[in-house]
Structure 1
Amino acid sequence: MIRASIAAFATLLAFSASAQQADTTEEFRPVLKAQATVHGPTVLVGDLVENAGALAKVAIFRAPDLGFTGTVPAQAVAEAVRNRALADIDTAGLTEVSVTRAARAIHAKDISDAIVRALAVQFNFGNPNDITITFDRDLQTVYVEPNAIGQPRVAHIGLDRGGRFDASLEMPTGNGKHGLLRIAGRAQVTAEVLTIARTLERGAVIKDSDVVLERRPRAEVGREALTDRSQVVGLSLRVPKQAGNMLRAAELARPDTIARNEVVMLIYEVPGVTLSVRGKAMEGGAEGDVISVLNEQSKRTLQGVIAGPGRVVITTQGNRIVANAALPGQN
């Protein structure tokens, strides 16, 4: 009985040791990773394989360019490590591995802003926000080593009379080093002005949606160019305007309160008496404007001030005399 128990216990211990060894073997078995980020020009075995052991620091592939991602077939990884005496790799059902090269991005806007600041200071262009630049070639994000410290710095910039510039920028590349980037393009000083969003006819009353704030070359912007929406909304156009045209103060007026040929009431003011007769506006105008009106009874043309919709006040002494002479019962 005792011998049987000892034999069973021994069998149990052997089974446990075998299971533990199997678990340990499984735990340290090389396994392919689904993705990896590398920090150098080469991809190491350890970047792609868990539990690579002594082969972890061995380079097997060239890394993607800085900031870019590439893929490696799982079979290619298995073959590469097998050739270096690492067999029985578990691909974990993967068909490929995604590899990204770590980098610091210097965005196109950072480069553009550096050039604009240099132009503003070196050529007295004023506020950098008023400088618009275009490049001969599309400006792309520049990727540098992750440990690169600092911002782009304009080492030299030249500008001709036509507005063309040529700039050299020092770019941090990592490990305390810098590279040189050459950029050329065109610069101009601009100003924000109000432009017409859609074609409008003469006399149209401007709404908020009819105007757009745009930047235009300062040389094209005169003193009368308008920049404040409150200066134009609610006013009418003295001239027709095409979409995209700038708005100028001289082209705007208060909207007509009375239209040409409109039937109006003529108000005659004499000491102690106010009289009114029917008339016709010979021209249109806004409240407060002086316009010509026809007294339909006397058939005389007079001058009056628009006092409101359909109302014109005859104010001059001469007009009063004419008006009084034309009133019924005073002929």
Structure 2
Amino acid sequence: MKPMRAAMHLAKRSAALALASALASAALVLPARAAELRTDVTVTENVVTLGDLFDGAGDAARIVVADAPAPGFTSDISISRISLAARRSGVAWRNTTGLTHITVARAGTAVPEPEVAAAVSSAIMAATPALPVTAKLQIDFANGHAGVQVGIEQPLSVKVEQIAFNARTGSFDALLRAPANDLASPLRRVSGRAYPVLDVPVLTRDVAPGDVVRRQDIDWIRLPANRVSQNIITAEAQLVGMSPRYPVRTGEPLRMSDIQPPVVVAKGAQVDMTYVSGALTLTARGRALQSGAIGDTVDILNPRSNRTVQGIVEGPNMVRIEAFGAPRAAAELKS
């Protein structure tokens, strides 16, 4: 009996091993879970991997399929190229939808427009000796914006590698590198127009005749230089402390003929007349026969003598009698 039991035990053990082997073999031939191809792909690095393209790429996720486009741009990768990379890397996938390509976008960060415009302006100035050193150039990009981007967390900088500028038409065409100091970064082409401009002061509120312009009333606008005539006010000092001759509207450039020193002596107003000569000081009251701003010479009637003297306006209703009429003026003020 013992030999029979041993034989039966051996048979059971062999059957169990055979079953286990069969199950293992079956597991080896079972298909792996199919990977799913993404149809909306955005990458942040400079290469596109199987992990970027597929859900379920597994250990093959880091396999590089193609170079990524420049930041802010897109590129297409053919399905045949993707299938070959997947098959060689053991990624189970079949093109059952008839796709021919996948579009991949590269995420980026926009370089600020003023940064790009300043780089282009400096390059044009350096390449065009005829432009004045003090000139300011307005840069208008052809598409309304430069659209230069760099990779995520890369420096927000640009460098002009080449510039072509037509001084007659103002058109330019430039090749930029972004970031500026990355020799491996792609060149970007931008184009547009560049033209000289001037910053012109304007008022931030409506100012009526008699009102005095203050520094806080001033803002600045930028105009093409060929639209700024010689009599347009271009400096803050020409405007502060002045008064408009006519009502002035907000935001409009002003001409020199639009303003005047503020009138501080009105025609018909009572004024204080002062004459000083050494230790002698004479004062009297008079009536202005003319309106005047500080520094203007006006006629003043001395009501006591009913005679007219001339004086220079020094302040609100204050007039100084000059030495050229000293004897007569002194006599008039004493009378």
The worse-fitting range, judged by mean Cα deviation, of 231-240 and 295-304 is 231-240
- Judged with a 3 Å threshold, the aligned counterparts in structure 2 of structure 1 residues 237 and 41 are, in CA distance, closer, same or farther, namely same
Q: Which runs of 5+ in 1 are unaligned?
A: 1-28, 70-79, 87-98
Question: RMSD in angstroms over aligned alpha carbons?
Answer: 5.0
CA shift in 2, pair 1:244/1:189, >3 Å: same
2:269 to 252, 262, 267: 262
Contact kept, 8 Å, 1:120 with 1:128, in 2: the verdict is no
Among 124, 129, 137, the residue aligned to 1:119: 124
TM-score of the aligned structures, taking structure 1 as reference length? 0.58
Q: Could you tell me which residue of structure 1 aligns to residue 230 of structure 2?
A: 222
Residue 211 of structure 2 corresponds to residue 204 of structure 1: yes
Tell me the equivalent position of 2:302: 295
What's the counterpart of residue 20 of structure 1? none
How much has 1:65 moved relative to structure 2? 8.2
Following the alignment from structure 1 to structure 2, what is the Cα–Cα distance between the partners of residues 252 and 175? 56
Match of 2:137 among 126, 131, 136: 131
Cα deviation for residue 281 of structure 1 reads 0.8
Pairs within 5 Å for 1:110-189 = 110-124=115-129, 125-127=131-133, 130-143=136-149, 151-161=158-168, 163-169=169-175, 171=177, 176=184, 178-179=186-187, 181-183=189-191, 185-189=192-196
| Counterpart AA for 1:181 | R
Cα deviation, 1:281-313, whole Å, max 9, x if unaligned, reads 122224443211223344433322335443434
CA 1:133–1:279 in structure 2 vs 1: closer, same or farther (change >3 Å)? Answer: same
In the TM superposition, residue 111 of structure 1 has moved relative to its aligned partner by 3.9
Deviations 1:146-205 (A, max 9, x none): 8x99944353413142x431314255799958556252x222112333222233233321
Amino acid at match of 1:306: V
Q: What is the distance in 1 between the residues matched to 2:58 and 2:270?
A: 98
**Greater Cα shift, 206-215 or 237-246:** 237-246
2:45 corresponding residue in structure 1:
39
Cα distance in structure 1, aligned partners of 2:177 and 2:320: 74
* Residue in structure 2 matched with residue 52 of structure 1 by the alignment: 58
Q: Is the 8 A contact 1:226 1:248 kept in 2?
A: no
The CA deviation at 1:100 is 7.6
Matching residue within 165, 190, 202 for 1:195: 202
Q: Could you say if the C-alpha distance between residues 317 and 175 of structure 1 is closer, same or farther in structure 2, counting changes exceeding 3 Å?
A: closer
Work out whether 1:236 is the aligned partner of 2:236: no
**Residue of structure 1 in register with 2:220 after alignment:** 213
Which consecutive residues of structure 2, in runs of 5 or more, have no partner in the other structure?
1-32, 75-85, 94-103
In structure 2, what residue type is equivalent to 1:56? A
Distance 1:61 1:247, change over 3 A: same
- After superposition, the Cα gap between the structure-2 partners of 1:198 and 1:154, relative to the gap in structure 1 and judged at 3 Å, is farther
TM-score, normalising length from structure 2?
Answer: 0.57
The superposition leaves residues 202-257 of structure 1 with CA deviations (integer Å, 9 ceiling, x where unpaired) of: 3321112211133333342638744345x543333455534334456676554333
- Any conservation in 2 of the 1:36–1:48 contact (CA below 8 Å)? no
Contact 1:268–1:323 under 8 Å retained in 2: no
Deviations 1:50-99 (A, max 9, x none): 8923x435789998984489xxxxxxxxxx99x9559xxxxxxxxxxxx9
Give the counterpart letter for 1:304 in structure 2: G
- Output the amino acid matched with 2:50: L
2:67, 2:201 → 1: CA distance? 55
Matched, 1:279 2:286: yes
Cα 1:249–1:52 shift into 2, 3 Å: same
Whole-angstrom CA distance in 1 between matches of 2:279 and 2:177: 86
Determine the C-alpha separation between the residues in 2 that align with 1:108 and 1:307. Answer: 51
Which residue pairs with 1:12 in the alignment? none
Residues in 1 aligned to 2:280 and 2:110: alpha-carbon distance in whole angstroms? 83
SS in 1 for 2:211: coil
Give the partner amino acid of 2:125.
Answer: A
Amino acid across the alignment from 1:279: G
In structure 1, what is the equivalent of residue 20 of structure 2?
none
Could you tell me which residue of structure 2 aligns to residue 323 of structure 1?
Answer: 332
- Which amino acid letter does the alignment assign opposite residue 169 of structure 1? L
Letter in 2 for 1:142: V
